[in-house]
Amino acid sequence: MRARILGMMGAVVLAGCGGGREQLAAQACDDAIRTKLAGRGVDINLKDLAAHAAPEGADALRLLSTIVFDKGLSSEYKQTAECKVRFEEGKPASVIFLQFNWSMDDVKKD
């Protein structure tokens, strides 16, 4: 009972600080994207990612945002990422779907 009360208090604190499920989902997506794109220069706006969160059933969120590659360089280009995160009682948020929507129109050729 005590752990449950502390867990609920933690969720309230996160929500009060601008956290909540959207921020947790955005961070989980950010981690997954950075893992998949290890070694690449990527810029992900966590606030934008969280702002574009939409419910996907009772226990999940779907997030969609733009990723900037090589920010500030002449080779800079943008792509879209779609991510779905599931929330389960007593477990950290988990990414259950990650898709990069590549468009060759934005890729600069040398």
User: Could you please report the per-residue DSSP string of 47-105?
Assistant: HHHHHTEEE-SSSEEEEEEEEEESTTSTT-EEEEEEEEEE--TTS--EEEEEEEE--GG
| DSSP label of 106 | G
pLDDT of the residue at 102: 80
Residue 109 pLDDT class (50, 70, 90 cuts)? low
For 1, half-sphere exposure in the C-beta direction (CA atoms, 13 angstrom radius) is 0
What is the reported pTM? 0.74
For the stretch 23-61, what's the b/e string if a residue is b when 16 or more beta carbons lie within 10 angstroms of its beta carbon? Answer: bbbbbbbbebbeeebeeeebebeeeebbebbeebeeebb
pLDDT digits (tens, 9 = 90+) for 46-104: 999 999 999 999 999 999 999 999 999 998 989 999 999 999 999 999 999 999 998 76
d(CA 64, CA 89): 24
C-alpha 80 chain-centroid distance: 12
